[in-house]
Structure 1
Amino acid sequence: MARILLTGAAGGIGTRLRKLLKPVYPDLRLSDITKPAELHPDETFLAADLARIDEVEKIVDGIDGIIHLGGISGEAPWEGILQSNIIGCYNLFEAARRKSVQRVVFASSNHAVGFYPRHHHIGVDVTVRPDSRYGVSKAFGEALGSLYADKHGLRVLCLRIGNFGDKPLDKRRLSIWVKPEDLVQLIR
């Protein structure tokens, strides 16, 4: 049975996904900088600051795969993005390499390509055009995932998440919408 680590377990997407992932991955380990609300007795939680490599190596030890949702999930001052999304992402991929993790699913964002015009249809192979510091951090994570896949053989899947929820918020966001159950299917 695969032992899976879910970072960002206390966040909006992590909170929703952990309930949907538990039947798929019974040995699901949860991590975040703060303890998730409504943690169930059968859930295993390990607090960690992704910007601290020693803490990241502890939560990655003995793990087969990682679903990386951790970090700041929107535009913020650079120092916070640097610590959480840049250094934290590097630490996670490096700990995965050191601990021989087989697979990492990286939660990227539509903000990695957010400066393309709205009417412009884009494919998965377009050049990144981040629309914010947050978008830059997601483009960095995608590039880092590519490096670790090519150089170290880590299996990496980068998912550009846009609007996440049971229904799209409005017609405009329908094109970037992903339903929680569909995201679980992509992760599997």
Structure 2
Amino acid sequence: MTAPRTVLLTGAAGGVGTLMRALLPPYGYRLRLFDQRPVDGEPDAITAELADTEALREAMDGVDAIVHLAGISLEAPFEKILRANIEGTYRLYEAARAAGVRRVVFASSNHAVGFTPRPADGSGAIPVGTPRRPDTYYGLSKGFGEDLASLYWDLHGIETVSVRIGSCCPEPTSVRMLSIWLSPADCARLLDAALTAPGVGHTVVYGSSANTRLWWDLSTARALGYTPRDDSEPYAAELIAAQGALDPGNPAHARLGGSFCTDPPRWPH
């Protein structure tokens, strides 16, 4: 696939979107920005909800690919998750189909498999093919997005890389994040690989840096050409001294989804 030049970035005003607005253009992309909130310093950004069919049609015009970061990124009442993450993602794919856009990078989440037990030895052994075990309505919506991407590949030939993002932020802020941290620079590397790799069909990858304490298998991401360069380990000593080591007896430490698994009545059964 020829490297796309114009990329629609949804969720451009959000945390990851703000980081990628600065880090993706050096890879040669022109970004068209879309968010329900105004994007600071970007007067040409499209301000609309994903439910706005006309705004989505306008956003898709002349676009080579989409990086879909928009949606609610934490747990919320099901009705809100339904509108933003489930119906919104469906509307995005329908607009892409109508416009002839053939590549999407979908921001999935580790919370799609959040109830999966973490590797006790930090072996990084959890494969992408592990059964989905969403920890929240939010995680459930990400599983829906992955399945929707698969459907649109099979029905309409729209290729998608679904990236199960860990925690993308300038530096890890908890001991759990030492295992799932995705540095902003590595996030841009991964998105670039996902946008340019040939023949992806529908591919699911985990999104994290090359962390010493990594919990999951990055082989499908590496197969796209992703070469992570960062590691959370330089932050480990300070975080562990301040917060203590992970306790396997603590439900928030025992599962991939962390505290997303612990809110009553989810735990214990």
TM-score by length of 2: 0.65
Question: Matched residues in 1 for 2:173 and 2:150: separation?
Answer: 32
What is the one-letter code of the residue matched to 1:109?
S
Q: Do the aligned residues in 2 keep the contact of 1:163 with 1:173 (CA within 8 Å)?
A: yes
Q: Do the aligned residues in 2 keep the contact of 1:164 with 1:180 (CA within 8 Å)?
A: yes
- Report the alpha carbon displacement of residue 64 of structure 1 after superposing the two structures with TM: 0.7
- Aligned equivalent of 2:153: 149
Question: Matched residues in 2 for 1:34 and 1:49: separation?
Answer: 9
- Aligned equivalent of 1:9: 12
Question: Matched residues in 2 for 1:169 and 1:152: separation?
Answer: 41
Matches within 5 A, 1:45-56: 45-56=45-56
Q: Give the alignment partner of residue 35 of structure 1, picking from 6, 20, 38.
A: 38
Aligned partner of residue 171 in structure 2, secondary structure: coil
Aligned partner of residue 157 in structure 1, secondary structure: strand
Instruction: Name the stretch that deviates more: 144-153 or 50-59.
Output: 50-59
Instruction: Name the stretch that deviates more: 119-128 or 60-69.
Output: 119-128
Matches within 5 A, 1:3-152: 3-37=6-40, 39-40=41-42, 44-119=44-119, 121-152=125-156
What is the one-letter code of the residue matched to 2:21?
R
TM-score by length of 1: 0.92
Q: Give the alignment partner of residue 183 of structure 1, picking from 181, 187, 207.
A: 187
Alignment root-mean-square deviation, CA:
1.5
5+ residue gaps, structure 1, are: none
What is the one-letter code of the residue matched to 2:80?
G
Instruction: Name the stretch that deviates more: 56-65 or 2-11.
Output: 56-65
Please identify the structure whose Cα radius of gyration is greater.
2
Q: Percent identity?
A: 50
5+ residue gaps, structure 2, are: 193-269
Instruction: Name the stretch that deviates more: 61-70 or 111-120.
Output: 111-120
- Report the alpha carbon displacement of residue 26 of structure 1 after superposing the two structures with TM: 4.2
Question: Matched residues in 1 for 2:117 and 2:67: separation?
Answer: 30
> 1:86-145: per-residue Cα shift (whole Å, max 9, x none)?
010001111111111121000000100001123364211112110000000000001111
- The structure where strand makes up a greater share of residues is 1
What is the one-letter code of the residue matched to 2:186?
D
Question: Matched residues in 1 for 2:119 and 2:102: separation?
Answer: 38
Question: Matched residues in 2 for 1:58 and 1:126: separation?
Answer: 38
Aligned partner of residue 21 in structure 2, secondary structure: helix
Question: Matched residues in 1 for 2:188 and 2:89: separation?
Answer: 21
- Report the alpha carbon displacement of residue 32 of structure 1 after superposing the two structures with TM: 0.1
> 1:7-43: per-residue Cα shift (whole Å, max 9, x none)?
0000011011111112224421000001122x256xx
Question: Matched residues in 2 for 1:40 and 1:78: separation?
Answer: 32
Q: Give the alignment partner of residue 161 of structure 1, picking from 152, 158, 165.
A: 165
Count matched residues. Answer: 185
What is the one-letter code of the residue matched to 1:176?
I
Structure 1: 4+ residue segments shifted above 6 A: none
